[in-house]
Chains A and B, each alone.
Chain A
């Protein structure tokens, strides 16, 4: 199991943000977390990448128990998990290349290998013409692609995405969902928090965990025929790479 959560609860003071959450996620599976703002989606994701401690219930991610996770083990967990946020969390004054390379530099990857891998992923996401542009000069969609590239470049076993398309228009949303789906087909598990119907429709085979007030109120697959997503082609010529390029998202020499 990539993720195993049993009766997980978390409170901020007297307010329970999560209450008795249980679910599993198999390798290569795509799971949506849905629910209104404040339902507990972000809290759950934060617990899964070690930003919040597991104090009640049990949870494990990529074979690592979060209950016994020491502070010194958190970098190890985060090297197995890629994280994408609605507000991108990239360094605006650094270039696209630097932002993406950061995920490999912290692993101590040799420079030549790193450059090859970063260039391939940047090209796959249609950012190769802007590799050496500071991110602050990019559009919102491009910045989010940088964040996605950074989360994918190290071939994580699991991607946690917290409303990654929340700040983007429909066309960009559809395009980014294509990238996530592509990566998912290579065997990477993905948990994505969203409250967008369009996003759900893009991955009809994905499971859905619907949260309300910190509890799971519905769980299952989307009803048949709900695939209304017709992911359009890239809105502009330089936005996305070719199909061959997206193959660069494939793990290079196995996962790091």
Chain B
């Protein structure tokens, strides 16, 4: 049984040389489909990484109550300084704030007459960068609450743009990207299936004769499955090789102002999924092409 299985497998591999041009063209087609899909996936991956850089960043402006002592405010600042995912923390005493305001306004900003009765509170600009794995639902709101709960804090403002962007990207992922990837999978399946099926037309005589002499469906299909595996695997590997070549040429294509985007190569798991998917479709096509 195992000997027969091995013999059929070897026959499938040996049959590869029977119609070399057809086999080569099939593999080229499979490689091209893999390359195109890889390029699209690389585009998604690049956009995803770029958005990931800004995703999770949020900036708060905190103002302390007027009657707070410097020591109490410093205690709050220490507490903020110990908060996780803090990236930037700029603090302003009322005097600093007045100086900052004056420098911002230039020549017209002379507030020396306010020095004895400064109305500005202690304040701070606090920026966090929360990585995706730590972004549980409502993470930005929790940071806001934590800041507001500090004993001396009066008000906290924040710009929701970055959190909205993150949320928008997640929505985009769910609404657009998965259907697009599904469509891509369908296109791969159809193109690879039809290519393999067309390549099997060159072997229809053999299939018919095997059927006439009483070969079982598995006896007929196993060598074809082996050939399909080889066509899919070699074609997908060649496609990924071409993708690596294109990537080496175009990795820096967007690395200039104002983008400064370096295009990354596909992560390993995406490469394996692409090659595995194409190989599986090729095998399945070989199996179902003979009815």
Listed in ascending order, the chain A residues whose CB lies under 8 Å from chain B are 49, 72, 74-79, 83, 89-91, 93, 102-103, 106-108, 150, 154
Contacts and interface: CB of A to CB of B under 8 A. Distances in A.
B214 A108 contact: no
Interface of B: 4, 18, 205-206, 208-217, 219
Contacts, number: 42
A78 B4 contact: no
Nearest to A89: B209
B209 A79 contact: no
18 contacts: A49-B212, A75-B215, A76-B214, A77-B214, A78-B213, A89-B205, A89-B208, A89-B212, A91-B205, A102-B209, A102-B210, A103-B213, A103-B214, A106-B214, A108-B4, A150-B213, A154-B213, A154-B214
B219 A106 contact: yes
B219 A90 contact: no
Contacts of A108: 4
A69 B128 CA distance: 73
A93 B215 CA distance: 19
Contacts of B18: 93
At the interface, is chain B mostly helix, strand, loop or mixed? helix
A78 B205 contact: no
A106 B208 CA distance: 13
A238 to B, nearest CB: 26
B165 to A, nearest CB: 58
- Between B18, B210, B212, the greatest number of chain A beta carbons within 10 A of the residue's beta carbon is seen for B212
Which 8 residue pairs are nearest across A and B when measured between Cβ atoms? A79-B214, A78-B214, A106-B215, A103-B213, A75-B214, A75-B216, A83-B212, A106-B214
B75 to A, nearest CB: 82
Nearest to B213: A103
Nearest to B3: A111
A108 B216 CA distance: 11
Nearest to B203: A91
A49 B216 CA distance: 15
A49 B212 CA distance: 8
Contact of A78 (B211, B217, B219): B211
